[in-house]
Amino acid sequence: MEIPYTVQNRPDTGIYNAKVGIWLFLASEVMLFGGLFSAYILLRVGAAPGEWPHGWLNVTLGTINTILLALSAITTLLAWAACKVREFGKFKFFHACTIVLALTFLGIKSYEYRDKFMHYEVQLQPSAKNRAAGEFADGHLVAKSGDFDLAKKTGFIKLHGHIVKDRKELMDLRSPEAQAAQHEELTIAAADIKKMENYAPRHNTFTAIYFTLTGLHALHILGGTLVIFYLWGPGSRMWKTDPERFTNRVEVSGLFWHFVDLVWIFLFPVLYLT
Amino acid sequence: MQANVQQFPPFRPSEAHAGGGDHGHGEHHEPGFFSKYIFSTDHKVIGIQYGLMALSFMLFGFGLMLMMRWQIAHPGVPVPVLGPLLEKILGQPAAGGAISPDLYNSFGAMHGTIMVFLGVVPLAFAAFGNYVTPLMIGAPDMAFPRLNMASFHVFFLGGVVMLVSFFIPGGAAQAGWTSYSPLATTIPTNGQAFWLTGMVLLITSSLLGAVNFIATIIQLRAPGMTWMRLPFFVWAQFVTAFLLLLAFPPLEAAGLLQLMDNVAHTSFFLPTGLAVGGQLANVSGGGSPLLWQHLFWFLGHPEVYVLILPAMGIVAEVITNNTRKPIWGYKSLVYAALAVGFMSFIVWAHHMYLTGMGQKIATFFQTTTMIVSIPSVIILTCMFLSLWGGSIRFNTPMLFALAFLPMFGIGGLTGLPLGLAASDLYLHDTYYVIAHFHYVVAPGTIFALFAGVYFWFPKMTGRRMNEFWGRVHFWCSFVFMNVVFMPMFAQGIKGMLRRMSDGGVNYSAAVVNKTGTAASPMIDALPGTVMQLNGWILWAAIALGIAQIPFILNLFWSISHGEKVDHNPWHATTLDWQTPTPPPHGNFTHEPHVVRGPYEYSAPDHATDFTPQDEAEGPATPKPPTPQH
């Protein structure tokens, strides 16, 4: 038994099976990310005035990641073109570039995640020394004393950050005041802390949707990288037996990769630039 | 047996691979048990796997419902027979063998989930679609056989996760099959996280299946099988696959978000100032409960057509075969199915009239809802008209298919008051709604699925199911189905709400106490007759359960003892009947060349009253018995 049109195009549809499959799959992916982007829009439109944060993400890193993915889209295309003209060495080179670019992207992404998890917003006790009631300390965790325990009120933490009078000041980090703020090392005793929370998904709806969208996207990058790595490494044996089919595989995985890039092209402005 | 029906040599599995020895797969050997039945990539085996699993889940879901009906009719009274077992397995929630309100909620949520996502969809779409679609279009298998297997395995895993959730502390999900937030997040058990994980797996499985079906139908149609020669069943599966492909991902998105709410404590669906048990919840807030409802129903409504379209496809095949005439209005059917598929994406908010949406939006969704009913009516009308002037064979599949028509009609027409905001405000969340959608799905879709099982059983096994017990099954199911669901319309109209674990006893008592009299003009206590109906429904449901016993026994008994039949016992025209029985690996002994439409019954100058799709023009001549390669 042989399933027809696994390699050759079906004459009346002009396309081979896997290409139909991947386009359909991408259609469902559009609906998946479409649903999440709709959620983003609804949450943002529904946010109370001043509650939606701006400037929380590092635009430089975002730009670098955008460029990395754009380059990887080019190398993916070149890898497929190399297969088409039957130049296996070039295919190996270009897809090696793709893999390196993708892994760099993931590395930068995990650095950004780590940065958010180390970033704390600390609500101070009204009684805290030299502090007015309701002030916030905001910054990155530098050190935690060994006996630090919020419940027992023992120990202290060191943050690299600054003190703000009102939580609202943290919402727009692009404002002149926020830009002008002096960041220094702050030592805060556990007894002075009313509530302390890092910029994890639960922090607010922005971090929630940021982590969900970019996390799901990063999983797609990871999946795509694994597939491309398979085709580059063990899967490339098919080149010797069935180069036509192998080229199709490269094309199909490339279509997926371009979709993942495209999602990032939407994610970057939506999350970083607005 | 007809004299000029094409004949096939008896099929032996060892010959299955003999045909294409030229494609370098090396030697073939008889596959072992695991590769034949567990890790099979053959669409027919996968179809049967789906079918058996879905039927088992439907029985299980039915069992949950029986226990719920007991609790509704006899609140707090230990469940007879099963009570001690329940207490042993589930512990505290079933203390004393009675069903606590929490357990009732779990059973309700899981009954809906299991019936929809683990019962009807896998049976209607995955099982029949897998088994029949490639045969009908003349394909050797699905386009992506290994993906097909993966899809079943993911489905299986999803089913396991759902079942396991009954046994975790606190039990299974309790927030209804719709899992509205914030309720779904604030119930302090892990049931919901299991439910969501299971759903993500089931959705993934459906997606893989949908991609496979569409690619198969587009790419693997046999030569000559043009779009307008596809049997209506294939069209129905095609539209269904698109609905699954495009409507399920938003629910997957919603599921991921709710999973984040439950596990990472985000606030996607939790509003600012949310209080739980009188305490301000420790969440950031800022989320929107309505967002969940929009994402859920964006799936939820197309899902209705996922449930009904394959059923319509089955009914079309059975009716046209048993009236011995072409189906009436084939093209109208096809375009109506496409229209229904498209429209089903823009009606979802008619499930949400009570959320206080603006009148303009409500008007839009009322209008689209009325429009979406038109193609459904076209389909039903075509099937009714197909009966006209036919020489009808009243066999078991036909009886079920015929019963589908009025039952689905009742279900559809009673949906109209729910589609209009003014009447929905009153009927929303009452038993009227339950009766409405159960008429669509239970005596509607499930009857069509029974028709399909009786109809294609001879293709799968080479034997017919017992006709007498089939009729017993039909008539008992038909009567008791109606006795179960018809009274619910009355209960709903009288104001009995869904999801009351005591069947309305406390509600009635509270209303009487508050108003001081038994009857207030605005808020009425439930009349005694309405409460009494709960008892009748319970007994009808038990009888309905007993009526399934002949079916189950018949199904297994007939595998080895049924009347032996040839490859085309119903004298059908479509390609699924023009192969040996059961079809070998690769389906066809020769590549079929399709020369005519799907329903050429009773052609005037033809020797038999049916002309198979691949039978060449001109006088029918027997084909050579051995396939040419």
User: At residue B180, what are phi and psi to the nearest 5 degrees?
Assistant: -60, 135
Q: Looking at the predicted structure, is the pLDDT value of residue B99 above 60?
A: yes
CA atoms within a 13 Å half-sphere pointing along the CA-CB vector of B541 = 26
Residue B303: which of B244, B238, B239, B384 has the closest Cα?
A: B244
Residue A28: which of B130, B375, B54, B302 has the closest Cα?
A: B302
A 10 A CB-CB count for B188 gives 10
Q: What is the pTM of this model?
A: 0.92
Domain ranges across chain B: 37-270+286-577
Contacts of A3 in chain B (CB under 8 A): 139-141, 143, 145, 220
Q: Which of A13, A18, A208 sits opposite B218 (nearest CB)?
A: A13
- Beta strands of B508-603 (E only): which ranges? 563-564
Q: Looking at the predicted structure, is the pLDDT value of residue B620 above 60?
A: no
Which band of pLDDT confidence, cut at 50, 70 and 90, is reported for residue B29? low
Q: Which of B219, B249, B585 sits opposite A32 (nearest CB)?
A: B249
Output the CA angle B316-B320-B325, nearest 5 degrees. 150
Q: Which of A189-198, B362-371, B556-565 has the lowest mean pLDDT?
A: A189-198
SS3 annotation, A77-138: HHHHHHHHCCCHHHHHHHHHHHHHHHHHHHHHHHHHHHHHHHEEEEEECCCCCCCCCCCEEE
CA-to-CA distance for B163 and B153, rounded, in angstroms? 15
ipTM for the complex?
0.94
| Residue A152 shares a structural domain with residue A176 | yes
| Residue A151 shares a structural domain with residue A259 | no
Q: Looking at the predicted structure, is the pLDDT value of residue B517 above 80?
A: no
Q: Which of A259-263, B512-516, B578-582 has the lowest mean pLDDT?
A: B512-516
CA-to-CA distance for B398 and B404, rounded, in angstroms? 10
In chain B, % of residues over pLDDT 70:
91
Provide the 3-class DSSP secondary structure of residue A67: helix
Contacts of A32 in chain B (CB under 8 A): 249-250, 252-253
Output the CA angle B223-B228-B231, nearest 5 degrees. 85
Query: Residue B32: what pLDDT?
Result: 79
To the nearest whole number, what is the mean pLDDT of chain B?
90
Domain final residue pick, A168, A198, A228: A198
Residue B295: which of B242, B262, B259 has the closest Cα?
A: B259
| Residue A102 shares a structural domain with residue A132 | no
Residue A81 within a domain:
yes
**Rounded average pLDDT over B367-391:** 95
Superfamily, domain B37-270+286-577: Cytochrome c oxidase-like, subunit I domain (1.20.210.10)
Which band of pLDDT confidence, cut at 50, 70 and 90, is reported for residue B170? confident
Residue B570: which of B458, B485, B473 has the closest Cα?
A: B458
Query: Residue B100: what pLDDT?
Result: 93
CA-to-CA distance for B599 and B327, rounded, in angstroms? 7
| Residue A173 shares a structural domain with residue A216 | no
Residue A26 within a domain:
no
Residue A3 within a domain:
no
Provide the 3-class DSSP secondary structure of residue B59: helix
Contacts of A213 (CB under 8 A, 6+ apart): A33, A36, A37, A40, A267, A271
CB B428 within 8 Å of CB B492: no
- Distance from the Cα of A171 to chain B's closest Cα (Å) equals 14
| Residue A96 shares a structural domain with residue A217 | yes
- Output the domain CATH number for residue A254: 1.20.120.80
Query: Residue A50: what pLDDT?
Result: 87
CA-to-CA distance for A101 and A88, rounded, in angstroms? 20
Contacts of B502 (CB under 8 A, 6+ apart): B71, B72, B75, B76, B101
The 10s digit of each residue's pLDDT in B407-456 is 999 999 999 999 999 999 999 999 999 999 999 999 999 999 999 999 99
| Residue A111 shares a structural domain with residue A246 | yes
Residue A109 within a domain:
yes
In chain B, % of residues over pLDDT 90:
77
Residue B481: which of B431, B402, B418, B407 has the closest Cα?
A: B407
Contact A1 B249 (CB under 8 A): no
| Residue A100 shares a structural domain with residue A146 | no
CA-to-CA distance for A224 and B371, rounded, in angstroms? 42
Q: Looking at the predicted structure, is the pLDDT value of residue B523 above 70?
A: no
The 10s digit of each residue's pLDDT in B453-507 is 999 999 999 999 999 999 999 999 999 999 999 999 999 998 899 988 988 888 8
Instruction: Look up tokens 């759903």; give the residue.
Output: B199
Contacts of A18 in chain B (CB under 8 A): 144
| Residue A264 shares a structural domain with residue A131 | no
Distance of CA A195 to the CA centre of its chain: 28
Contact A21 B265 (CB under 8 A): no
Query: Residue A126: what pLDDT?
Result: 77
Query: Residue B341: what pLDDT?
Result: 96
| Residue A224 shares a structural domain with residue A262 | yes
Whether residue B188 is preceded by a cis peptide bond, meaning omega within 30 degrees of 0, is no
Query: Which has more confidence, B103 or B517?
Result: B103
- Distance from the Cα of B292 to chain A's closest Cα (Å) equals 9
Q: Looking at the predicted structure, is the pLDDT value of residue B105 above 70?
A: yes
Domain span including residue A172:
120-198
CA-to-CA distance for B519 and B522, rounded, in angstroms? 9
Q: Looking at the predicted structure, is the pLDDT value of residue A248 above 50?
A: yes
Chain A interface test: which of B28, B220, B257, B266 (most A C-beta within 10 Å) = B266
Q: Looking at the predicted structure, is the pLDDT value of residue B236 above 90?
A: yes
Smallest CA–CA distance from B140 into chain A, residue: A3
Q: Which of A17, A25, A212 sits opposite B256 (nearest CB)?
A: A212
Chain A interface test: which of B25, B141, B142, B218 (most A C-beta within 10 Å) = B218
Which band of pLDDT confidence, cut at 50, 70 and 90, is reported for residue B610? very high
The 10s digit of each residue's pLDDT in A191-245 is 888 889 999 999 999 999 999 999 999 999 999 999 999 999 999 999 999 999 9
Task: From residue B184, give the alpha-carbon distance in Å to each of A134, A201, B181, B493.
Answer: 34, 19, 5, 28
Which band of pLDDT confidence, cut at 50, 70 and 90, is reported for residue B364? very high
**Chain A residues in contact with chain B using a Cβ-Cβ cutoff of 8 Å:** 1-5, 10, 13, 15-18, 20-21, 24-25, 27-29, 31-36, 38-39, 42-43, 46-48, 51, 200-205, 208-209, 211-212, 216
**Rounded average pLDDT over B130-159:** 96
Which band of pLDDT confidence, cut at 50, 70 and 90, is reported for residue A1? low
Task: From residue B275, give the alpha-carbon distance in Å to each of A43, B185, B287, B430.
Answer: 20, 12, 14, 27
The 10s digit of each residue's pLDDT in B189-219 is 899 999 999 999 999 999 999 999 999 999 9
Contact A20 B214 (CB under 8 A): yes
CA atoms within a 13 Å half-sphere pointing along the CA-CB vector of A199 = 24
Top mean-pLDDT range of A132-141, B279-288, B330-339: B330-339
Contact B219 A200 (CB under 8 A): no
Which band of pLDDT confidence, cut at 50, 70 and 90, is reported for residue B255? very high
**Rounded average pLDDT over A98-123:** 97
**Rounded average pLDDT over B578-590:** 91
| Residue A191 shares a structural domain with residue A207 | no
Domain count of the fold of chain A: 2
Smallest CA–CA distance from B18 into chain A, residue: A1
Q: Which of A20, A27, A35 sits opposite B295 (nearest CB)?
A: A35
Residue A132 within a domain:
yes
**Rounded average pLDDT over A122-130:** 75
Contact B250 A25 (CB under 8 A): no
Contact B219 A13 (CB under 8 A): yes
Query: Which has more confidence, A166 or B557?
Result: B557
Provide the 3-class DSSP secondary structure of residue B352: coil
| Residue A149 shares a structural domain with residue A214 | no
Query: Residue B19: what pLDDT?
Result: 38
DSSP one-letter string for A222-274: HHHHHHHHHHHTGGGGHHHH-HHHHHHHHHHHHHHHHHHHHHHHHHIIIIII-
Q: Could you say which DSSP state residue B496 is in?
A: P
Query: Which has more confidence, B277 or B404?
Result: B404
Q: Looking at the predicted structure, is the pLDDT value of residue B624 above 50?
A: no
Q: Which residues pair with B430 in a beta bridge?
A: B497
Q: Looking at the predicted structure, is the pLDDT value of residue B12 above 50?
A: no
Domain final residue pick, A198, A226, A252: A198
- Distance from the Cα of A107 to chain B's closest Cα (Å) equals 23
A 10 A CB-CB count for B53 gives 20
Q: Looking at the predicted structure, is the pLDDT value of residue B621 above 60?
A: no
The 10s digit of each residue's pLDDT in B545-562 is 999 999 999 999 999 999
Query: Residue B628: what pLDDT?
Result: 43
Residue A87 within a domain:
yes
Residue A16 within a domain:
no
Domain final residue pick, A198, A230, A265: A198
Distance of CA B51 to the CA centre of its chain: 11
| Residue A36 shares a structural domain with residue A111 | yes
To the nearest whole number, what is the mean pLDDT of chain A?
93
Query: Which has more confidence, A44 or B8?
Result: A44
**Rounded average pLDDT over B157-163:** 97
**Rounded average pLDDT over B28-55:** 87
How many CB pairs below 8 A link A and B? Answer: 146
Query: Residue B571: what pLDDT?
Result: 95
Q: Which of A5, A29, A204 sits opposite B219 (nearest CB)?
A: A5
CA-to-CA distance for B432 and B486, rounded, in angstroms? 9
CB B253 within 8 Å of CB A35: yes
**Rounded average pLDDT over B33-61:** 92
Radius of gyration from C-alpha coordinates of chain B: 25
